[in-house]
Amino acid sequence: MNYKKRKEKENILNKGKKDIGWGNQIRSYVLHPYKQIKDLRTGYETSNVNDILDGKIDKFLETSLII
């Protein structure tokens, strides 16, 4: 595949991507005055922030696969 065709294909694939920036976040982390983490795509939330911050995000991943 030549360079021009490859670039055209990449451009088509990249059109669906969102910009990275404020307002396009995946999760919301609130640590004070109360503790809560919410996945904004799936709606799953938990108050067990210590486990999530330690990397135990299996429930977030499972929920995103179900939806």
Q: Domain residue spans in the chain?
A: 26-67
What's residue 4's pLDDT?
84
Residue 30 pLDDT class (50, 70, 90 cuts): very high
Q: Indicate if the alpha-carbon torsion angle 55, 56, 58, 63 is positive or negative.
A: negative
Average pLDDT, stretch 1-24? Answer: 78
Query: What is the pTM (predicted TM-score) of this model?
Result: 0.61
- Which residues are bridge partners to 45 per DSSP? 38
Give the count of alpha carbons within 13 A of 9, CB side only: 6
Neighbouring C-beta atoms of residue 60, cutoff 10 Å: 20
| 36-48: b (≥16 Cβ within 10 Å) or e | ebebeebebeeee
Compute the mean pLDDT over every residue in the chain, rounded to the nearest whole number.
87
Predicted confidence (pLDDT) at residue 1 exceeds the cutoff of 70: no
- Which residues are bridge partners to 50 per DSSP? none
The larger pLDDT score, comparing residue 47 to residue 23, is at: 47
